[in-house]
Amino acid sequence: MPTYHFEIVDGVKLADPVGVGCKNDHQARIVANQIAKQIAIDVETEGKRNVVVVDERGDEIYTTPVKP
């Protein structure tokens, strides 16, 4: 199972050193959307904040905004 990293970016990048195993890119996008929704619930967001998915090659494959 490929490992995907879910980085939080809001001007500064909070890297995900461990990552999460997902079946494919599609499942990684679903996980990123869930993370973004949970951040919006847990943290007051000021400014632009995104969850960026990075695959095993180090390529950014998806970005989703954290919406308050």
Report the pLDDT value the prediction gives residue 59, as an integer from 0 to 100.
97
pLDDT one-digit tens code per residue, 9-67: 998 899 999 999 999 999 999 999 999 999 998 887 677 999 999 999 999 999 999 98
Q: Domain limits of the chain?
A: 3-65
Length of the chain, in residues? 68
- With contact defined as beta carbons under 8 Å apart, do 20 and 1 qualify? no
| 24: three-class secondary structure by DSSP | coil
Tokens of residue 14, six digits:
């909070």
Report the pLDDT value the prediction gives residue 45, as an integer from 0 to 100.
66
Burial 22-43 (b: 16+ CB within 10 A, else e): beeeeebbebbeebbeebeeee
